[in-house]
Chains A and B, each alone.
Chain A
């Protein structure tokens, strides 16, 4: 089985401050890791993904996440947040579970950026 734990359900942060959204996973198989973002009243959009290679992955809008196998974590960070980053963020894992590759999501973290 595979599971994802997002340790914080809500994270308020002031504009231009740094933020870290925490994600831990467990799996009995090798996994690939993803962060999705959901803006209000919208669907899920892929923010970034770790498939292989460098453990630090970056998105085009300044977010980054680091895969840490020993700590089974994939925390999302941004050094300086903007109002437009207000959204819900979902960490997800995907591995081969009996031939299926469905994404397993965490419960989500609501990021609120305060002006």
Chain B
């Protein structure tokens, strides 16, 4: 158990809908990262937050947004869903943002868009 909690574990929804994925980082970790894992693209970095502030953006679509709340949990919002958004979405957390800081991953949320 990494200490990073993601809910829900599975989500099935229809095209055009909007969903929210939730991540609770390890106790004390200030930084949260979101990744998307798909068969064709592999693990893609989406976005990073540190202590409530957006720190870096990766290959995140405009239909997607995220935020980190004062209690440090984070939510990833996916809207106008398309079939191609079906993937495993991981959240990771780390204590700080240094390059040598270990990141711990949650179990992921498997999103299926039908």
Interface residues of A (CB under 8 A from B): 30-32, 36, 42-46, 49, 51-52, 90, 94-108
Which residues of B in the span 71-114 have a Cβ within 8 Å of any Cβ on A? Answer: 90, 92, 97-108
CB contacts (< 8 Å) of B106 on chain A: these are 43
B99 touches A45 (CB 8 A): no
The 0/1 profile, CB within 8 Å of A marked 1, for residues 4-41 of chain B is 10000000000000000000000000000101000000
A43 touches B99 (CB 8 A): no
Query: Who on chain B is nearest to A30 by CB?
Result: B99
B68 CB-CB contact with A under 8 Å = no
B105 touches A43 (CB 8 A): yes
B99 touches A95 (CB 8 A): yes
> Which 3 A-B residue pairs are closest in the complex by CB-CB distance?
A100-B56, A105-B43, A44-B105
* Bound Cα distance from A106 to B42, whole angstroms: 8
**How near does chain A come to B78, taking the closest CB pair, in angstroms?**
19
* Bound Cα distance from A46 to B26, whole angstroms: 15
Q: How large is the interface on B (under 10, 10 to 19, 20 to 34, 35 or more residues)?
A: 20 to 34
A49 touches B102 (CB 8 A): yes
B64 CB-CB contact with A under 8 Å = no
Known A-B contacts A42-B107, A43-B107; the reply to A105 vs B101 at CB < 8 A is no
Known A-B contacts A31-B99, A102-B56; the reply to A45 vs B45 at CB < 8 A is no
**How near does chain A come to B54, taking the closest CB pair, in angstroms?**
10
Could you list 9 A-B pairs, sorted by A, with CB under 8 Å? A32-B100, A43-B2, A96-B99, A98-B56, A100-B55, A101-B99, A101-B101, A102-B48, A103-B103
A108 touches B48 (CB 8 A): no
Known A-B contacts A51-B100, A90-B43, A94-B99; the reply to A102 vs B2 at CB < 8 A is no
* Bound Cα distance from A10 to B90, whole angstroms: 23
* Bound Cα distance from A105 to B88, whole angstroms: 15
